[in-house]
């Protein structure tokens, strides 16, 4: 037979017990041991430790005694060297208002003035900060704020302006069960997953690197049609030995944090895809080396071991990248709302807009201004923090894997 526990009403008397002071083993155990001697129910518990200083709060139903609870908790605090306080009131914690968001703040450095500006804007937008948690201390400082009462879309727009003015990065995501679901991460390659542009590396073999780099820069800023610019640049590669593709692959340098991000999120069952305006012979090898699930790129025509200067088939351009994201999501059985797109150029904009979370990574100004989320630090693993994963969790998982391997 199932018993039904009555739900506390907002008018029911409650008491908030708080212990503050130097952290030490067994504080929560001893507090709950003392509380067990009274006819109370636990409604909520919060604990925080910062630089060895503990704040432990327990919300209880009020036993209605004449001070015995206060005396017992105060005595416990005295024995442990902690300050104890009791505050009586009514009901549960104030219900969190509608419009729940997760706000991630990235700074290198993160200064008090920036936090003051952000928190003031959240308040101005009608939001309340329910909880603040540090996600990482290095290579950047990452802080998560859980906010209620403000429209996530309003927060996204207003906090982006504050972040730009303060020289930090802010990402806003609506809180909900969908945030914990499996995701598909779709990445651009050139100047995102890797440092530099493959086509410029190939152009160096043809003696026209500077000329091609100028066209690439204009295309990435959105000043030129990508497909047209690609055909123009590839035409200058005519006569380059196909072996240059192998040389370029061997010289690739991954963006700092790329392997950490992929390794960590794949542990959690995330899928990965590469969608590139680059070339299949290189993108395929990158995908194989990193355990990427899907990829799409452009095919170069090769005749007698030499590049002809032509692209085969349809170019993977701005629209093509967004289409690939949707196709890969369908293949993986993952809703488009649960996709994350990362890119830096104008040809990534449709993909960033199509994804549930579009991230402009060290992007060109026109891309940064149009993307909902922008990350401007040179570490790709900062994306992990936007997924709600802390640096400590990453390091603990890596250490556990090392122990298994050894």
As annotated, the active-site residues are 188, 190
Q: CA distances (Å), 303 to each of 192, 229, 238, 312, 328, in order?
A: 31, 22, 10, 12, 31
Q: Which two three-digit tokens encode residue 154?
A: 């309003």
Q: For 102-166, give the DSSP string.
A: EEEEEETT--HHHHHHHHHHHHHTT-EEEEEEEEE-SSSEEEEEEEESS-HHHHHHHHHHHHHHH
Sheet (strand 141-148) strand order: 128-136, 141-148, 101-107, 169-174
- The span from the CA of 36 to the CA of 33, in Å, is 5
User: Which of 172, 135, 170 lies closest to 152 in space, CA to CA?
Assistant: 172
Q: Which residues contact 45 (CB under 8 A, 6 or more apart)?
A: 56, 57, 58, 59
| Cis status, amide bond into 283, omega within 30 of 0 | no
CA triplet 83, 84, 85: central angle to 5 degrees?
A: 125
Task: Please count the other Cβ atoms lying within 10 Å of the Cβ belonging to residue 297.
Answer: 22
Outline where 291-386 has alpha helix (H): 318-332, 349-354, 365-370, 383-386
Number of alpha helices (DSSP H) and beta strands (DSSP E) in the chain: 15, 15
Residue 186: alpha-carbon gap to chain centroid: 13
Beta bridge partners of 294: 273
- The span from the CA of 10 to the CA of 24, in Å, is 34
Q: Which two three-digit tokens encode residue 167?
A: 């020289």
Q: CA distances (Å), 169 to each of 10, 176, 350, 393, in order?
A: 39, 22, 21, 22
Spatial contact of 148 and 130, defined as CB atoms under 8 Å apart:
yes
- The span from the CA of 90 to the CA of 351, in Å, is 49
């Amino acid at each position: 037979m199932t018993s039904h526990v009555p739900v506390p009403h907002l008018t029911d008397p409650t008491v908030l017990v708080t212990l503050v002071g130097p952290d030490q083993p067994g504080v929560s155990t001893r507090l709950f041991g003392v509380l067990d001697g009274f006819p109370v129910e636990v409604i909520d518990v919060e604990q925080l430790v910062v630089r060895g200083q503990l704040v432990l709060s327990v919300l209880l139903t009020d036993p209605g005694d004449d001070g015995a609870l206060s005396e017992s908790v105060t005595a416990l605090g005295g024995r442990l060297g902690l300050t104890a306080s009791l505050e009586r009131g009514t009901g549960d914690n104030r219900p969190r208002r509608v419009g729940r968001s997760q706000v991630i703040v990235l700074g290198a450095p993160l200064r008090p003035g920036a936090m003051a500006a952000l928190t003031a804007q959240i308040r101005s937008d009608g939001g309340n900060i329910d909880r603040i948690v540090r996600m990482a201390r290095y290579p950047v400082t990452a802080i998560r704020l859980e906010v209620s009462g403000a429209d996530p879309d309003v927060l996204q727009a207003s906090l982006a302006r504050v972040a730009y003015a303060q020289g930090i990065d802010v990402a806003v995501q609506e809180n909900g069960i969908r945030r914990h679901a499996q995701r598909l991460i779709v990445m651009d390659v050139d100047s995102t997953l890797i440092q530099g542009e493959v086509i410029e590396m190939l152009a160096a073999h043809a003696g026209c690197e500077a000329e091609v780099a100028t066209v690439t820069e204009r295309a990435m800023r959105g000043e030129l049609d990508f497909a047209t610019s690609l055909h123009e640049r590839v035409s200058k590669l005519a006569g380059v030995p196909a072996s240059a593709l192998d040389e370029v692959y061997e010289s690739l340098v991954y963006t700092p944090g790329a392997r950490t991000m992929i390794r960590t999120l794949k542990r959690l069952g995330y899928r990965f895809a590469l969608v590139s305006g680059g070339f299949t012979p290189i993108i395929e090898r990158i995908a194989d080396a990193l355990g990427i699930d899907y990829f799409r790129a452009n095919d170069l025509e090769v005749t007698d071991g030499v590049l002809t200067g032509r692209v085969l088939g349809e170019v993977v351009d701005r629209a093509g990248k967004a289409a690939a994201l949707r196709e890969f999501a369908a293949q993986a059985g993952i809703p488009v709302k649960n996709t994350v797109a990362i890119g830096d150029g104008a040809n990534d904009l449709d993909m960033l807009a199509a994804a549930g979370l579009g991230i402009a990574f060290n992007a060109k100004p026109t891309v940064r201004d149009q993307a909902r989320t922008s990350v401007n630090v040179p570490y790709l693993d900062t994306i992990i923090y936007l997924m709600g994963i802390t640096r400590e969790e990453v390091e603990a998982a890596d250490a556990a894997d090392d122990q298994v391997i050894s």
